[in-house]
Chains A and B, each alone.
Chain A
Amino acid sequence: MALSQIAEIGNLTLVLGLVVSLYLIFAAIFSQRKQRPEFLVSVKHGVWVIAGLTTLAVFILEWALLTHQFRFEYVASHVSRDQPVLYTVSALWGGQEGSLLFWVWLLSLFSAAVLIQHFGQRNPLVPWVIAFMAFTQAFFFALLVFITGPFTLLAQTPADGIGLNPLLQDPGMFIHPVTQYLGYVGFTVPFAFALAALVTGDLGYEWIRVTRRWALFAWLFLSLGLLFGMRWAYVELGWGGYWGWDPVENAALIPWLTGTAYLHSIMIQEKRGMLKVWNLALIMLTFLLCILGTFITRSGVIQSVHAFGVSSMGPLFLAYIAAALVIFTYLMYRRLDQLQEENRLDSFWSREATFLLNNLILLGAAVATLWGTIFPMLSEIIAGKQITVAAPFFNQVNGPIFLALIVLMGVCTMIGWRHASPRHLLRNFIPPAAVALSAALALALLSVRDLYGLIAFTAAAFVLTTVLLEFYRGIRARMRMYRENILVAPAQLVNKNRRRYGGYITHLGVILAVIGIVGSTFFQTDIQKNIAPGETVSLGRYTLQFEKLKMTQEGNAQVIGADLSVFENGVLVDTLRPIKAYYAAADQMTTEVAVRTTALEDLYIILAGWNDDGSATLKVIINPLVVWLWIGFGVFVLGALIAMLPDPREAQAVERVRAEKALVGASSATAP
């Protein structure tokens, strides 16, 4: 088959995808309104067809990338002959058209997953869920068909392509977009279920039960997206940090914040039947922010309003967001009478109240970040003048907000549901407060002089103690109640209540990450120096001796590195080689830093430049405790995974039989 025919088929899959998506919206709604189940079965087939079509489209594009079909415009601009295979594969989501296709592909797979999970149970929410997901699919198909298609052919075949931006040629960038998109797309499912619940009026447990796990899944991937993005920025961008509050980073953080709020407040709805409207609003907000995030990431509209002009996708994205917002709000308004609170807040001193506070604070952080992120665009539209805020604004606003959030995290674990008795609260409060105070004192004696750093570390110590204490009390209670030994009790404690203790482990991870962030933010030191071979530069306990410059060819890049010997307190401990790589095809330079990581600090070295006389300019940074950020993330993910696992069937069955026996008496006693 000729190349043009393959491109033709690629385009056809997208057009068919659009047509079938539109049909699905109609058929799914029709099947419910007119009670025509055969259309429902047709919808089911349609979902599989779309999954097949998008998979075919992805397959064609990936084939074109891997076999260097440079007549495809997308291939020519994202792949070059000397590019490693790994980044040829990842070029699929490295560009705008490809990543939109990737989006719609994930969405079609998720639709199929929803069907596999729920169609067998004949869940009445599912047709509406599929209808909305098809609506979203139709939107992305329309973008691909009418605005920016991945199968556009060039008039001639170029000899070689431009290649993926060298900055994106990093393992972190291979995995980061995938996790980010899994998170973004994943939130479509809980939103669709919420919408379906509003349409059908089945606002009971069903949609919450279903959405909780999907929301957790999407949220976990958003977290992983943040992690890989930060890691990439740290090792690849070479400015010594991992978070710069740029619009793309913020776009990923904002839905994570609202998603976190949702995961907390949904517990109150499950346990107490409260905050129903609030939870619906949160899931809507999170989903729309995910769409906005995709848009910001893909269009570059905020970073560079001047340079790129208004992207043609902009109005369409805004129209989609507006449509979803209006439909959802209208449905919510119509069902308000079914969304009444079933309980009231009993006391300020209850877990519900702390959750509510946590929600407000998270939302505050989200609003502040969103405000700072889109303000340049807003001010340009409204006043015709772009006004921007940079990192200091975000730090000043979010710093205190996050500090409050951390303290609250500790308070929350100490307080029981409904109403905490002051006596118990005081008893629970004293040990962590004592630990926190002694930690503050010890740090002050160790001449930690930065006030904000000191406060943050104290808060971290406080929360860490409360979480550990929670585990200690739980283990002790289990040992007493079930006569388990010290080895079995901890495992069983987590195993028997995976949601709660998975959550605590996640909190533990957050605190470790906070320690890393505080350490590297407030206690970073650095030095810049130009040195000739044989000379040294010193920072803290380290002395670096510059041996020589070395030039090599590696893959598609020319690499210049500075060989350094690292002495710690005068003892040779390591040799490092920070490099700069020049990619001729893209005419671009990238910096690869050299990092020596220990539990206490990272030694981070950037080769800033070199001169003809053989001297090199180095920037050396010491980032204290930064490794705990990555370790914390690991613990965090582990906790989230534990919370996601279904409760063990066997144990549940035993418990249920036991509970049922216990309840037989109560049941007969209250029966009329």
Chain B
Amino acid sequence: MASVLQNSPAKPVARASGYSLKYIFGVIVLLGVIGFVMFNSFQSNAVYYYTLSELYAQQNELIGRTLRVNASLDKASIVNDQKNLILKFNLIEGEHALPVVYRGVAPDTMSSGESVVAEGKLDGSGVFQADSILVKCPSKYEKSPEQY
């Protein structure tokens, strides 16, 4: 059972190689299943990160695909319709400006936000329809929890 019993003659001895093929097979099958599930849902859920210049460079192919954009927030452009819970703002990068529409409760940090990560789809008219937004603040807070 332990090193203290190593010399015990009564102890049944079986060495590591004692695992038969069928257990190893079982383990492989299990790992295969987990790996497959992982791979599969990874394929359908992977979301690419784009900067605005990358986004505009391949705008036509990206329409309708789920993606993430990360850019500076143009604070002056924020329009928060609280009655209908529609939040509109522009993300800017160089000469590019991307209008974003988010339906839902605006994050509390919106007004003090510096940059925004938005996940969603680009529609045909060039407006980004966000499903979730993550606001990043300029502060030193190391931990700025994610908000949906």
Contact = CB atoms under 8 A, between A and B. Distances in A.
Query: Taking the complex as a whole, does A directly touch B, i.e. does some CB pair lie under 8 Å apart?
Result: yes
Interface of A: 77, 95-96, 162, 165, 167-168, 202-205, 233, 237-239, 244, 246, 248, 272-273, 297-300, 303-304, 306-307, 338, 340-345, 348, 357, 360-361, 364, 367-368, 371-372, 376, 385-390, 392-393, 396-397, 400-401, 528, 530, 580, 586-591, 606, 608-611, 615, 617, 619, 670
A360 B3 contact: no
Contacts of A388: 46-47, 49, 68
B1 A530 contact: no
A277 to B, nearest CB: 8
Given A307-B115, A390-B47, 20 more contacts: A203-B3, A272-B1, A340-B15, A345-B19, A348-B26, A385-B48, A386-B48, A387-B49, A388-B47, A389-B47, A390-B119, A393-B46, A528-B105, A586-B139, A587-B111, A588-B137, A589-B108, A608-B106, A609-B80, A609-B106
B147 A205 contact: no
Interface residues of B, number: 58
B11 A342 contact: yes
Contact of B3 (A202, A272, A385): A202
B45 interface: yes
Contact of B139 (A165, A360, A371, A590): A165
Contacts of B141: 95, 165, 168
B127 interface: no
Q: Which 10 A-B pairs have the closest CB atoms?
A: A609-B82, A386-B49, A396-B41, A393-B45, A344-B18, A589-B108, A364-B34, A204-B3, A530-B83, A344-B14
10 contacts: A248-B145, A298-B142, A345-B23, A360-B27, A364-B34, A368-B38, A387-B47, A393-B46, A400-B37, A528-B105
Most buried by A among B18, B45, B106: B45
A372 B37 CA distance: 13
Contacts of A367: 34, 38
Contacts of A204: 2-4
A322 to B, nearest CB: 24
A345 B17 CA distance: 11
A610 B82 contact: yes
A641 to B, nearest CB: 28
B80 to A, nearest CB: 7
Given A385-B49, A389-B42, A165 B144 contact: yes
Given A368-B34, A392-B41, A608-B85, A387 B143 contact: no
Interface in B110-144: 111-112, 115, 119, 132, 134, 136-137, 139-144
B30 interface: yes
A239 B147 contact: yes
B76 interface: no
A306 B51 CA distance: 10
A221 to B, nearest CB: 19
B56 interface: no
A609 B105 contact: yes
A300 B144 CA distance: 9
Contact of A617 (B13, B85, B108): B85
A211 to B, nearest CB: 14
Contact of A397 (B41, B109, B143): B41
Most buried by B among A361, A367, A386: A386
B1 A273 contact: yes
Contacts of B70: 306-307
Interface in B54-106: 68, 70, 80, 82-85, 105-106
Contacts of B85: 528, 530, 608-609, 617, 619
Given A580-B108, A588-B112, A608-B105, A344 B38 contact: no
Contact of A589 (B37, B111, B144): B111
Contact of B82 (A203, A338, A608): A608
Chain A binding surface SS class: mixed
Most buried by A among B15, B70, B145: B145
Contacts of A400: 37
A297 B147 contact: no
Contacts of A344: 14, 18-19
A386 B143 CA distance: 21
Contacts of A345: 19, 23
Contacts of B105: 238-239, 528, 591, 606, 608-609, 619
A341 B27 contact: no
A304 B105 CA distance: 22
Nearest to B47: A388
Contacts of A617: 82-83, 85
Contacts of B42: 371-372, 389, 393
Contacts of A611: 82-83
Contacts of B119: 390
B21 interface: no
A618 to B, nearest CB: 10
A371 B108 CA distance: 30
Contacts of A237: 145, 147
Nearest to B4: A204
A611 B45 CA distance: 38
A615 B46 CA distance: 40
Nearest to B34: A364
A244 B38 contact: no
A515 B134 CA distance: 30
Nearest to B30: A360
A364 B46 contact: no
Contacts of B136: 304, 307
A651 to B, nearest CB: 24
A393 B143 contact: no
A348 to B, nearest CB: 8
A18 to B, nearest CB: 23
Given A168-B143, A307-B136, A389 B14 contact: no
A303 B137 CA distance: 13
Contacts of B142: 95-96, 298-300
A557 B9 CA distance: 75
A396 B45 contact: yes
A328 B80 CA distance: 55
B139 A162 contact: yes
B24 to A, nearest CB: 11
Nearest to B148: A239
Contacts of A591: 105, 108
B38 A389 contact: no
A619 B103 CA distance: 12
B82 A589 contact: no
Nearest to A619: B105
A233 B11 CA distance: 53
